[in-house]
Amino acid sequence: MTLTSKQRAYLMGLASNLNPIFNVGKASLTPEIIEGIGQALEKRELIKVSVLKNCADDPKSIAEMIGERTHSIVVKVIGKKMIFYKPCKDKNKRKIELPK
């Protein structure tokens, strides 16, 4: 699934009020972080993740890896903050309705 610029802007607007719920630190991406992000996406659909200063990896490459491993969409990487979106599989339980 790819997002249009309108959908991406809509999701970024929703995420502007969110606080990061995961911090990627010195150990970079561990299986536990990936699993936790995946579970959070299943429940919330839209999350924000932060990369701490002591992490040596590039935030864009970290975002790509998280997106691949959680089957989610990287909405935006802004500095050391990343926004991910994964729609709920059950269309009736979706919390976020994207504009067309």
List of domains in the chain: 5-87 (3.30.110.60)
Angstrom distance (rounded) from CA 34 to CA 20: 15
The predicted model gives 30-45 an average pLDDT of 93
Q: Which residues contact 2 (CB under 8 A, 6 or more apart)?
A: 73
Whole-angstrom Cα distance, residue 37 to residue 56?
A: 20
Whole-angstrom distance between the N-terminal and C-terminal Cα of the chain?
13
Between CA 68 and CA 10, with CA 63 as vertex, the angle to 5 degrees is 100
pLDDT for 1: 73
Q: What integer pLDDT is reported at residue 95 of this predicted model?
A: 85
- What stretch of H or E contains 75? strand 73-78
Helix, strand, or coil here: 49? strand
Residues 6-18: tens digit of each pLDDT: 999 999 999 999 9
How does pLDDT run across 47-96, given as a tens digit for each residue?
A: 999 999 998 889 999 999 999 999 999 999 999 999 999 998 887 888 88
